[in-house]
Amino acid sequence: MDVVDHYEQGDWRADLVFLTGDLVQDDTREAYRNLRVVTDRLGLPMQVVPGNHDVPDLLREELAGYGYCGSFRGAGWTLIGLSTHAPGRVDGVIAPGELARIEDALIRVDTSAVALFLHHPPVRLGSVWMDAIGLRNRESLFELVGRFPVVRVIVFGHAHQTFDEHESGIRIVGTPSTGRQFRPRSDEFTLDDRPPAYRRLEFRPNGRLDTEVVWIRTSRHYASDA
């Protein structure tokens, strides 16, 4: 809600919204309906990848019309969503069939750059508890994208914190939560006092990515260092 309010009140405009998973905390149809009331206000194309808290079948039913692990082609870039959802698990796995699907999509890409979107971090963040619930088969993902230099960027959610580093020549970008944040580099689960946020991603036709995190100060949150 805070993020949508902020977007509506500002001047910056997007072409697409990519929701990087954990759209609900409670596994209910009602939760997805409540989310949709807010996200539909944006009036933008939506792409979704599932997180560990999501129930993919419910998500797809209630967010019908939103792209689910889909792709979006723009000037010079193809954006591709992939699932790391593993039923009953908090950590993430890219199933063999999903890896094959992404490989097939990469073979057919006709743009000069690709960004992948997934829920679980594909790299270690230096946070003991979070790294234990990241993407289990990171090596499989990097083996795949290593064969397709067109993949320039990977964007993840899950970690409720900002992140922007390179791994194997690929820019790895983490997006904070639109709700509560987790403290980076903590050994145990620790909430941060940073406010809700979203990430603006501007994919340039020349293959460059300009991106920034927008922290949203509200009367209900206090940011000590944002």
The minimum distance between CB 13 and Fe ion, in angstroms, equals 28
Binding of Fe ion at residue 152 (CB under 5 A)? Answer: no
d(CA 54, CA 106): 26
* 52/78 with CB nearer Fe ion: 52
Quick one: 52 or 175, whose CB is closer to Fe ion? 52
Which amino acid appears at position 191 of this protein? L
Q: How far is CA 160 from the centre of its chain?
A: 10
H-run or E-run covering 4:
helix 2-9
Asked if 199 touches Fe ion (CB under 5 A), the answer is: no
80, 102 in Cβ contact below 8 A? yes
Asked if residue 67 lies in contact with residue 45, where contact means CB atoms within 8 angstroms, the answer is: yes
51 near Fe ion, rule: CB under 5 A: yes
Residue 24: exposed, middle, or buried by beta-carbon count in 10 A (0-12, 13-18, 19+)? Answer: buried
Percent composition of the chain: helix, strand, coil (DSSP 3-state, to 5) = 25, 25, 50
Min. distance of Cβ 183 from Fe ion in angstroms? 16
- 158 lies in the site for Fe ion, by CB under 5 A: yes
Residue nearest to Fe ion (CB): 158
Q: How many helices (H) and strands (E) does the chain have?
A: 6, 13
Min dist. Cβ of residue 179 to Fe ion (A)? 12
Residue closer to Fe ion, measured from CB, 51 or 176: 51
Candidate segments 6-14, 22-30, 184-192, 211-219, binder of Fe ion by CB under 5 A: 22-30
Give the residue, chosen from 52, 84, 127, 178, that forms a contact with Fe ion under the rule CB under 5 A.
52
Smaller CB separation from Fe ion, 51 or 174: 51
Residue 20 binding Fe ion, by CB under 5 A: no
Residue with tokens 């949203």, as numbered in its chain = 216
Q: How far apart are CA 144 and CA 177, in angstroms?
A: 28
Binding Fe ion (rule: CB under 5 A), the pick from 22, 54, 62, 192 is: 22
Q: Which stretch binds Fe ion (CB under 5 A): 17-25, 37-45, 60-68, 173-181?
A: 17-25
Count of CA atoms in the C-beta half-sphere (13 A) of 176: 27
Shortest Å distance, C-beta 132 to Fe ion: 13
Place of tokens 């409540």: 34
- What is the closest distance, in whole angstroms, from the C-beta atom of residue 131 to Fe ion in the complex? 13
Chain residues binding Fe ion by CB under 5 A are 22, 51-52, 158
